[in-house]
Amino acid sequence: MPPKSVSNVLPPPWDKFLSELASVLTEPLELHCVGGFSLVHFYGLPRSTADIDYYAAIPQTDLDEIAGENSALHKKHKVYLHRAAVMSLPDEYESRLQELVPGSFKPLTLRVLDPYDCILSKIERNLSKDRDDADYLFRTQRLDSATLRDRYTKELRPYLAKDRECDLTLELWLEIFEGPP
């Protein structure tokens, strides 16, 4: 469940962009949103973003022409969709997805990662922005280190090419998360 401070309505330009996208869809479409958009509009991270990163579109749909960077919708609303295909997510992430603004953009459904999965989605890239985002989520959602470590070990680590590097990253992040703000 999102923090109570997060609105169930998206602000401009997102509301108009997504309404217009939904109006051209010919069948239901579900986007598995990852990254900054989810953090800002579901978890209340105080920053802005110009795109919706998504890991999966169900059914699989090429959205670049309709709503991707340099599309007519992007030019009109100054925001766009971006397929974030190169990332690793925990094995069971789909079972924990949560709906953002339920029923607002039918037939389009936006689903976001739960906070543990969101943190784990950033562990391979490990940019300073990723660490800051993960720290924000860990602290504001009052997450548990043991749960994060367990999910990493069981659902993500077996699929990582750089598992030892990610092991070290996770331990470093947990030290940061559990330290003083």
Summarised one tens digit per residue, pLDDT across range 160-180 is: 999 999 999 999 999 999 988
State the virtual CA torsion across 178, 149, 116, 168 in degrees, nearest 10. Answer: 70
Q: Which residues contact 111 (CB under 8 A, 6 or more apart)?
A: 30, 31, 32, 33, 97, 98, 99, 100
pLDDT (0 to 100) of residue 8: 80
Domain ranges of the chain: 14-114, 117-178
pLDDT (0 to 100) of residue 5: 45
Q: Which strand (E) or helix (H) includes residue 104? A: strand 98-105
Summarised one tens digit per residue, pLDDT across range 74-88 is: 999 999 999 997 899
Mean per-residue pLDDT over the chain, rounded: 94
Model pTM above 0.85: yes
The amino acid present at 165, given as its one-letter code, is: E
- What token pair was written down for 180? 């003083």
